[in-house]
Amino acid sequence: ANKLRTKTLHNTLNPVWNETLTYYGITDEDMVRKTLRISVCDEDKFRHNEFIGETRIPLKKLKPNQVKNFNNCLEKQLPWIGHEEVEISGNKQHQRRRDK
């Protein structure tokens, strides 16, 4: 699992990253089977970074050396409330009972 990181954008509620991140050693098999996972966090110098959400893009939707724009909603798993797991995906809310 290779991880790359963009620059931190400070003092903005509407960040726009215009960066190129290059992964090396990706095989044709990787392009069919793997997924690009993009996580967004709010960086804080004095506390832990806050996870805002993430999105996933199957590599098979991408072509090498070609720019492709995506407009994806972030998904975020909310903290545990009692023993129920609440997950928001897009604009749908799913609840699932957790067994002990």
Structure confidence by residue, pLDDT tens digits, 11-70 = 888 888 888 888 888 899 999 999 989 888 888 778 888 888 899 999 999 887 788 888
C-alpha distances in angstroms, 4 versus 7, 21, 44, 83?
Answer: 10, 7, 19, 34
Q: What is the pLDDT of residue 79?
A: 52
Tokens of 27: 């095989």
Q: What is the pLDDT of residue 29?
A: 93
Q: What is the reported pTM?
A: 0.64
DSSP 3-state of 77: strand
CA angle 30, 31, 35 (to 5 degrees): 80
Question: If we measure between CA atoms, which residue out of 93, 96, 27, 39 comes closest to residue 64?
Answer: 27
